[in-house]
Amino acid sequence: MVTDDICIDQAKGASIYEKFDLHIRFSYIIMNINIDNSSTVPLVNQIVSGVRDLILGMKLQTGQRLPSVRQLAEQCGVSTLTVSNAYNKLVAEGLLEARRARGYFVTHNNTLNRTLITTATLVDRSVDSRWLLQSAYEDKAPIIKAGCGWLPESYLFVDAIKQALVSLGRKPPSSIFEYGNPYGYTPLRHSIQLMLAQRKIRTCDAGIILTHGASQALELSVRAFTHKQDTVLVDDPGYCNLNPALQGLDLNVVGVPRTFEGPDIERLEYLARLHQPRLFITNTILHNPTGTSCSPANAFHILNLAEKYNFLIVEDDIFSSLTTDITTNLAYLDQMRRVIQVGSFSKTIAPGVRVGFTASHPELAQVILRQKMASSLTTSGINEYVIHSIIKDGKYRHHLTRLKERLERMQASVGRALTNTGMRLYFRPPGGMFVWARFDREGINMQALAQSAAEEDILLAPGYLFRPNYEPSPWMRFNVAHCNNPYLFDFLKKYQDDHC
């Protein structure tokens, strides 16, 4: 098998490194990377450090191919998204090179690179297609995180978390300190069932599975119902962290254009007929990144097409708690026949308490549960206990009300400020975190813009990062909760004056 591959590459005029890569394809599978799940160091950083040490220690040679995202995830016992983000960081550091359809390769391991690694800052980094996946998570992250995807600490329910942790400390030993139920902490699942019922979504205990945040919920849902080379439809633009995860699973990712009223229905039907997709992953309410929501007619058309072309819908519903409008919610309209709803508490309580969930028909949930047990057994009962303690307290509802009102005010304020700088809004969201905006002039280099902003300690989110294959886009995502600094708008206005 290896010999055949070498012959093929030689016929195409492969470089010496490419031939060498194929020759060692079975020797690079195992890398000695120690993962400590009890450490406070994020798993992504542990993998980055481990691979970096192997490269700088000359144990991985220039041109050598690393394990695939899937292989290293299995070796380390982590998700493919974790490994994908780690590899992207190493690409940004100049230690690895990503080659389309071939994988990741070592680029440098010389002494000069040691100096670059220890002194690298955000400004040293090239703004490429992996920019947003690492920049906002850096220890020396930008001061103005205008493009990030979460709320600042002042918006979070910090006091409630502290109270829940105090309560946990007083609690006698119980099942939450053990592996627990594979479905997740039962009282929290009951609370979620009640919350969904209040939105007229009928579920049962057997249809709710708790996960390590919404990212794991999305990944488990995809793994459960796809195989290699299956087609998955996604919003275009859409959730930026989803695309590398899907590509890591070797899926054919196809974008469905997003309109003011939701996915482009005509295009969705054309793509469904052409590709016979297994899944359509979409964000119906307060869409990330445009801030739009599906109209009722649009939502009905989506469900009709799912029935007609026999695909499942994974509804990324993590922002619905930030609005009172749930009439376009697919899970409500479908009542869990073809829809798998993904929810999370990270946006409204705190991103550090990683608790998400899937809600679906029990038969679908069984398939997802098998994936969960295969990859992680169970989730953190401690985190789930903390979230349940917060939700069952009546103060959570008041927190959500205040949060919605605050974001509504920020939407109005930031919308005005952006238009005053000469930018054009795609849509004026009534609430939520995001607004999608652009300069009027065509042809602006968005990478150069983001790099210039980084040099001023501002994190921007260029629109191409939200497209399935990083196609060009003149748009940018702004998180209104992080845009309350006049310096941001001064920078945008000056950049426009200088370049438009």
Give CATH superfamily name and number for 129-155+398-499: Aspartate Aminotransferase, domain 1 (3.90.1150.10)
202 three-class SS? coil
Contact 275, 254 (CB under 8 A): yes
Tens digits of per-residue pLDDT, 285-310? 999 999 999 999 999 999 999 999 99
Contact 355, 389 (CB under 8 A): no
Tens digits of per-residue pLDDT, 317-343? 999 999 877 667 899 999 999 999 999
> Can you list the alpha helix ranges (DSSP code H) found in 107-212?
111-119, 131-135, 158-170, 186-198
Contact 345, 387 (CB under 8 A): yes
Tens digits of per-residue pLDDT, 19-37? 334 333 434 446 778 888 8
Contact 414, 483 (CB under 8 A): yes
DSSP code at position 478? E
Element at 223 (helix H, strand E): helix 213-225
Fold (CATH) for 158-395: Aspartate Aminotransferase; domain 2 (3.40.640)
pLDDT at residue 30 in the model: 66
89-116 CB burial, b ≥16 within 10 A, e <16: bbbbbbbbebeeeebbbbbebeeebeee
pLDDT at residue 130 in the model: 56
Q: What is the DSSP string of 386-419?
A: HHHHHHTSTHHHHHHHHHHHHHHHHHHHHHHHHH
CA 158 – CA 321 distance, rounded (Å): 18
CA 251 – CA 268 distance, rounded (Å): 18
Can you read off the two tokens belonging to residue 163?
A: 């109270």
Fold (CATH) for 43-113: Arc Repressor Mutant, subunit A (1.10.10)
- Domain spans, the chain: 43-113, 129-155+398-499, 158-395
Beta bridge partners of 21: none
Residue written as token pair 């605050």: 406
CA 122 – CA 25 distance, rounded (Å): 34
Residue pLDDT tens, the chain, 500 long: 333 333 333 334 444 334 334 333 434 446 778 888 888 888 899 999 999 888 888 888 888 889 999 989 888 888 888 898 899 888 888 889 888 888 899 986 544 444 444 444 444 445 544 555 556 555 555 689 999 999 999 999 999 999 988 888 777 766 667 778 899 999 999 999 999 998 889 999 999 999 999 999 999 999 999 999 999 999 999 999 898 899 889 999 999 999 999 999 999 999 999 999 999 999 999 999 999 999 999 999 999 999 999 999 999 999 999 987 766 789 999 999 999 999 999 999 998 889 999 999 999 999 999 999 998 888 988 899 999 999 988 789 999 999 999 999 999 999 999 999 999 999 999 999 999 999 988 888 888 999 899 889 899 999 999 999 889 999 999 999 999 999 999 999 999 888 86
